[in-house]
Amino acid sequence: MLCSECQGREAQVFLKQIVNSQVTQRALCQDCAQKLNLPASATPDALLLEVLAGLGALLGGEPAREAPLEQCPACGLRWTQFQRSGRLGCADCYESFHGRLADLLRRVHGSDQHRGKLPKGSREAKERLHRGEELKRLQKQLKAAIDGERFEEAAALRDRIQKLQG
C-alpha cells in the first residue's frame, strides 16, 4: 500500500482518527509520518503513555510532568527517544537505562532475566548444565540430612545451594 500523502513510498504507519464520531484513516510512509510529528515506530508503551497523558489533560487533571532527563553518556540517546523509537543507540544504553529497562522487561515479558536456550557446546551452556546437576545433587543431600536430623550438615548444604542459585 502506498503512502496517502506522497503517493511514492510504501506505507508503514497506519493512522486512524476518530473525531466527533467521524473516522478518517491514513497510511503513511516513515518520512511523511515524521513530518507530521507522528512516531514512526513507537512502542505500544510509549503510545499508551501519550494517550493517557492526553486523557488526563482533557479531563482537567494535572498536566503530565516531563520525566527527568535521562541520557546515555556514550551516544546521547534520551529515554524519551527510546520510548518513541523502541531502539537503543549503543551497548552503553543498557547500563544507562538499566532500571527503566528492567521495569519495562518485567511488565512486557514477566521477567528481566533471559531463560531461553543457549547454543549447544557453549561454555555458558555447559556451566548452566553442571550447575543444575549440582543443585539437584545438593537438594537430595539436603533432604537426606533433614530426614536424618543432621541439621548442621543441612544448614551447610542449604548455604551451598543458595550460593549456587546466585
Contact present, 23 and 13 (Cβ < 8 Å): no
Is the residue at 43 inside a domain? Answer: no
Is the residue at 33 inside a domain? Answer: no
Q: What pTM was computed for the model? A: 0.34
The residues of the chain scoring below 70 in pLDDT are: 37-69, 114-116, 118
Task: Determine the structural domain holding residue 105 and report its residue range.
Answer: 63-116
- DSSP class of residue 64 equals P
Same domain, 108 and 75: yes
Same domain, 99 and 131: no
Is the residue at 34 inside a domain? Answer: no
Amino acid 67: pLDDT: 47
Cα–Cα dist 40/10, whole Å: 13
Give the pLDDT confidence of 39-75 residue by residue, as tens digits: 545 555 666 666 666 666 666 655 545 445 578 888 9
Is the residue at 156 inside a domain? Answer: yes
